[in-house]
A and B are shown apart, each in its own frame.
Chain A
Amino acid sequence: MIRVSRFLSGFLFLCLVFPGCGLPRDPGGTLREVQNGTLRVGLVEAPGFAEWESGEPTGKEVELVRRLADSLKSQLVFVPLSLDQAVDDLKNRRVKLVIGGFTNQTPVKAEVGLTLPYQREPERVFLTPPGENEWLLRVDHEIKAWSGQ
Chain B
Amino acid sequence: MSVRVLASFEPTTEQKVALGKAKRLEWLTLLALGSIIPLMGWAMGGSQSMKTAWIEDLLSLIPPVAYLVSDRFRQRKPDTDFPFGYHRATLIAFLTASVALCSVGLLTLYDALTTLVQQERPTLGAMQLFGHIVWSGWVMIPVLAYSALLPVILGRLKREVAMELHDKTLLADAATNRADWLTAVTASVGILGIGIGFWWADALAAAIISLDIIRDGITHLRGAVSDLMDRTPTEVDKEKQWHPLVTRIVEDLEALEGCTKAQVRLRDFGLYLTATVFLHYRGVSSESLRREAVGLLQDYDPELHNSVVVMVEASEFT
A residues sitting closer than 8 Å to B (CB atoms) are 1, 4, 7-8, 11-12, 14-15, 18-19, 23-27, 112-116, 128-133, 136-137, 140-141, 144
Q: A4-B181, A11-B141, A27-B197 are in contact. Are A131 and B122 (CB under 8 A)?
A: yes
The answer to whether B123 and A15 touch across the interface, beta carbons within 8 angstroms, is: no
Please, could you name 10 A-B residue pairs with CB atoms under 8 Å apart, sorted by A? A1-B156, A11-B141, A18-B138, A18-B195, A19-B135, A114-B125, A116-B126, A130-B122, A131-B122, A140-B125
Q: Which of B84-92, B145-153, B208-216, B272-280 participates in binding chain A?
A: B145-153
Is B137 located at the chain interface by the 8 A CB criterion? yes
With a CB–CB cut-off of 8 A, which chain A residues contact B135?
A: 19, 23-24, 133, 137
The answer to whether B123 and A113 touch across the interface, beta carbons within 8 angstroms, is: yes
With a CB–CB cut-off of 8 A, which chain A residues contact B196?
A: 23-25
With a CB–CB cut-off of 8 A, which chain B residues contact A18?
A: 138, 192, 195
The answer to whether B133 and A140 touch across the interface, beta carbons within 8 angstroms, is: yes
In the bound assembly, the distance between CA atoms of A42 and B296 in angstroms comes to: 87
With a CB–CB cut-off of 8 A, which chain A residues contact B142?
A: 11-12, 15
In the bound assembly, the distance between CA atoms of A136 and B194 in angstroms comes to: 13
In the bound assembly, the distance between CA atoms of A132 and B122 in angstroms comes to: 9
In the bound assembly, the distance between CA atoms of A130 and B152 in angstroms comes to: 35
| A131 CB contact (under 8 Å) in B121, B133, B137, B152 | B121
Is B251 located at the chain interface by the 8 A CB criterion? no
The answer to whether A113 and B195 touch across the interface, beta carbons within 8 angstroms, is: no
| A23 CB contact (under 8 Å) in B120, B128, B137, B149 | B137
Q: A23-B196, A140-B133 are in contact. Are A8 and B126 (CB under 8 A)?
A: no
A11-B184, A27-B198 known, 19 other contacts, Cβ within 8 Å:
A4-B149, A7-B181, A15-B145, A19-B135, A23-B137, A24-B124, A26-B197, A113-B123, A116-B125, A116-B133, A131-B194, A131-B199, A132-B121, A136-B123, A136-B125, A137-B126, A137-B135, A140-B126, A144-B128
With a CB–CB cut-off of 8 A, which chain B residues contact A137?
A: 125-126, 133, 135
Q: A24-B135, A25-B197, A130-B120 are in contact. Are A11 and B145 (CB under 8 A)?
A: yes
Number of chain B residues close to chain A: CB under 8 A: 30
Specify the main secondary structure of chain B where it touches its partner: helix
Is B188 located at the chain interface by the 8 A CB criterion? yes
In the bound assembly, the distance between CA atoms of A136 and B124 in angstroms comes to: 9
In the bound assembly, the distance between CA atoms of A7 and B196 in angstroms comes to: 22
The answer to whether A4 and B126 touch across the interface, beta carbons within 8 angstroms, is: no
The answer to whether A23 and B192 touch across the interface, beta carbons within 8 angstroms, is: yes
> Considering only CB atoms, which chain B residue lies closest to A4 in the complex?
B152
Shortest CB distance B146–A (Å)? 9
The answer to whether A24 and B123 touch across the interface, beta carbons within 8 angstroms, is: no
In the bound assembly, the distance between CA atoms of A70 and B213 in angstroms comes to: 49
Shortest CB distance A71–B (Å)? 15
Interfacial residues of chain B within 172-192, with CB under 8 A of chain A in the complex: 181, 184-185, 188, 192
In the bound assembly, the distance between CA atoms of A144 and B122 in angstroms comes to: 23
The answer to whether A133 and B145 touch across the interface, beta carbons within 8 angstroms, is: no
The answer to whether B126 and A136 touch across the interface, beta carbons within 8 angstroms, is: yes
The answer to whether A27 and B145 touch across the interface, beta carbons within 8 angstroms, is: no
With a CB–CB cut-off of 8 A, which chain A residues contact B185?
A: 7
The answer to whether A133 and B138 touch across the interface, beta carbons within 8 angstroms, is: no
The answer to whether B145 and A112 touch across the interface, beta carbons within 8 angstroms, is: no
With a CB–CB cut-off of 8 A, which chain B residues contact A11?
A: 141-142, 145, 184, 188
